[in-house]
Amino acid sequence: MISDPITLEVVREALSAIVREMRITLVRTAYSSILYEGEDFSCVLMDRQAQIVAMSRGQDHPLHIVPIAWSMKAVREKFGDDIHPGDIFLHNDPYTGGTHLNDVAMIYPMFVPAPPGTPDELFLFPVVRAHWGDVGGMSPGSLSGQVTEIYQEGVRIPPIKVYERGRPNQAVLDLLFGNMRGPRDREGDFRAMIGTCRKAAERVEALLGRYGRATLEACITTLLDRAEQRMRQRIRELPRGEYRYEAYLEGGRERLEPLRVLATVRIAGEGVTVDLTGTSPQTSGPTNVGPAMAPTGAFTILKAFLDPGGEINSGAFRPLTVVAPEGTIVNARRPAPCGGMVEVKYCVESAVMGALGQAIAGRVTGDLKGGGNHCYIGGPDAGGTFIFYEYPAGGTGAFEGGDGSNAVRAFTESDITTIQPVEAVEQKYPLRVERCALRPDSGGAGHWRGGLGLVREIRVLAPAAQLSVLAEKSLLRPYGVCAGLAGAPNRFYVRRAGAALEPSPLPGKVSGFPLQHDDIVVMESSGGGGYGDPLERDLRAVAADLTEGLITPAAADGVYGVIVHAGAVDAAAAAERRRGLGAARIVASLAVRDDLDESQVRQIALDRSTADRLGVGPGDVVEVVTPRGAPLRAWVTAILPAGAGRAEVSPVALALLALGPGARVELRPLVLAGRPA
Distances (CA, A) of 296 to 53, 285, 324, 368: 16, 21, 11, 17
**What contacts 563, CB < 8 A, 6 or more positions away?**
556, 557, 569, 570, 573, 574, 577
Instruction: Return the pLDDT at 416.
Output: 60
Q: Give, for 496, the enclosing helix (H) or strand (E).
A: strand 491-496
Amino acid at 16: S
Identify which of 355, 356, 439, 455 has the alpha carbon closest to the alpha carbon of residue 404. 439
The angle, 0 to 180 degrees and rounded to 10, between the axes of the packed helices 183-211 and 5-29 is: 160
> 570: helix, coil or strand?
coil
Splitting the chain (677 residues) into consecutive groups of 10 residues, what average pLDDT does each group show? Answer: 83 94 95 88 93 82 88 93 94 94 96 78 93 92 90 95 95 95 93 97 94 92 94 92 93 90 93 96 94 93 85 91 96 94 92 85 81 89 85 91 89 68 90 96 97 96 94 94 96 96 94 96 96 96 95 96 86 94 96 92 95 95 91 94 89 90 95 85
**What contacts 154, CB < 8 A, 6 or more positions away?**
101, 102, 134, 135, 136, 137, 142, 179, 180
Instruction: Return the pLDDT at 642.
Output: 75
The CATH architecture assigned to 587-676 reads Beta Barrel (2.40)
Spans of all domains in the chain:
5-226, 538-583, 587-676
Count how many residues are written for the chain.
677
> What are 82-115's pLDDT values in tens digits?
999 999 999 999 999 899 999 999 999 999 877 7
pTM for the predicted model, two decimal places: 0.91
CB atoms within 10 A of CB 613: 18
DSSP string, 2-26: ---HHHHHHHHHHHHHHHHHHHHHH
Q: Give, for 196, the enclosing helix (H) or strand (E).
A: helix 183-211
Q: 539-550 b/e with 16+ CB inside 10 Å = b?
A: beebbebbeeeb
> What are 392-418's pLDDT values in tens digits?
889 999 999 999 999 987 776 765 666
Instruction: Return the pLDDT at 418.
Output: 67
**What contacts 564, CB < 8 A, 6 or more positions away?**
543, 546, 553, 556, 570
What is the DSSP-derived secondary structure letter of residue 99? S
Amino acid at 644: A
The angle, 0 to 180 degrees and rounded to 10, between the axes of the packed helices 213-236 and 183-211 is: 100
**What contacts 470, CB < 8 A, 6 or more positions away?**
143, 144, 145, 286, 339, 340, 343, 372, 374, 508, 509, 510
| First and final C-alpha spacing in the chain | 58
Are 227 and 313 spatial neighbours (Cβ–Cβ below 8 Å)? yes
Q: Which segments of 362-459 does DSSP mark as H helices, in order?
A: 422-428
Are 254 and 331 spatial neighbours (Cβ–Cβ below 8 Å)? no
